[in-house]
Amino acid sequence: SNHERESLIHIYGADPQKVAVIPCGVDTQMFSPIGKDIARQKVGVGPNSQTILFVGRITPLKGVDLLLHSMAQLEEDNNVQLLLVGGNARRSRQEHLMYLLALQIGISHRVRFLGPIPQNVLPYYYNAADVCVVPSYYESFGLVALEALACGTPVIAARVGGLQSIVQDGRT
């Protein structure tokens, strides 16, 4: 990303002539719009649910704690659910901490920890969601945002790293 290019030049003294930015790409045969009703039926999301999606590793850097605290600020009666896709087949220590946080702040009934999902199934989740959130404290490339956008799903992202070159305020 441009952000990483600038870091390499300014922090590590890399020669600007030797650092090129190659934009990230996504397989648009796989990640493309699907009818929301079809996608929701495939992943078990109700037709009237307002669905927020997070896809990624469950590590402190990914900002899941920030997302859970933000979710707790939403009114209870607005039928919003959070789908957390990612992590390990076995719940890691960080995933367990995030589950405990969801319990502690009273939103565990509105959060689904889904674990890892095969890549060929991810487009259904992106298409089933009303919005994909990338709350990372740092994100080098922002591939999750790119995949979501390729599916036609709006993205809310932290203004960090590569996300700044993918997510355009007010447009995507």
Tell me the residue type at 109.
Answer: H
pLDDT string in tens for the chain (172-residue length): 888 888 899 999 999 999 998 888 899 999 999 999 999 999 999 998 999 999 999 999 999 999 999 999 987 777 899 999 997 666 688 889 999 999 999 999 999 999 999 999 999 999 999 999 999 998 888 899 999 999 999 999 998 887 877 888 887 7
Q: How far are the Cα atoms of 102, 110, 138, 160 from residue 31, in angstroms, in the given order?
A: 30, 26, 24, 23
3-state secondary structure of 68: helix
3-state secondary structure of 29: coil
The verdict on pTM exceeding 0.85 is: yes
First to last CA, the chain: 18
- C-alpha 65: how far from chain center: 13
